[in-house]
Amino acid sequence: MSIVILNGPNLNMLGIREPEIYGTESLDDIKNWLVDESGIDFQWFQSNSEGDLIDQIQTSQLEKTDIVINPGAFTHYSYGLHDALSSHKAAGLVSIECHLSNPAARESFRQNSVISPAVTGTIAGFGKNVYLLALQEIKSRRGN
């Protein structure tokens, strides 16, 4: 089983940016916790660039790798990510959108996801546990 976890814009600022919403742990803290907690091997990638994330999704499709993606602000307007994830899903691969906070309970502009229709499912609002829940779901679907 091969999984890549993709993290979008501004997630490299976790622990500094709006800790009242996102918490005080850095993205590296979350990754290290997830390695220890999940027992699942995964690749980890973060970029503030939409194109870099699309490249990773396309590579994942070619390599038949499932995806967990926290698209950050790209959630609300990136049709490029949507299209790449749609192709990934059409190839029979699992992709799970996740968000540390609950976008549905936040500002109105955050309440619409153009990513959700293109992925297998969405997990939101449970802090760093969204990553763990997504990995467990992929593991369950793959029978591992």
- pLDDT digits 0-9 by tens, 93-126: 999 999 998 777 676 766 689 999 999 999 999 9
Is residue 129 pLDDT above 90, yes or no? Answer: yes
Q: Which pLDDT belongs to residue 62? A: 97
Active site residue 22: yes
Q: What is the pLDDT of residue 108?
A: 76
pTM greater than the 0.75 cutoff: yes
- Of 76, 79, 82, 99, catalytic: 99
Q: What is the DSSP letter of 2?
A: -
Give residue 21's pLDDT band: very low, low, confident or very high (50, 70, 90): confident
Q: Give the C-alpha separation, 19 to 72, whole Å.
A: 15
Distance between CA 92 and CA 36 in Å, rounded? 29
Task: Please pick, among 22, 82, 88, 131, the residue that the annotation labels catalytic.
Answer: 22
φ/ψ region of 23 (left if φ > 0, alpha if ψ in -120 to 50, else beta) reads left
| More confident of the two residues 45 and 2 | 45
pLDDT above 90 (res 144): no
Encoding tokens for residue 108?
């109105």
Angular region, 61: left φ>0, alpha ψ -120 to 50, beta rest? alpha
44-64 tens-digit pLDDT: 999 999 999 999 999 999 999
Share of the chain above pLDDT 90, in %: 80
Q: What is the pLDDT of residue 16?
A: 92
Domain spanning 3-141, CATH architecture: 3-Layer(aba) Sandwich (3.40)
Quick check: is 131 catalytic? no
Is residue 23 very low, low, confident or very high in pLDDT (cuts 50, 70, 90)?
confident
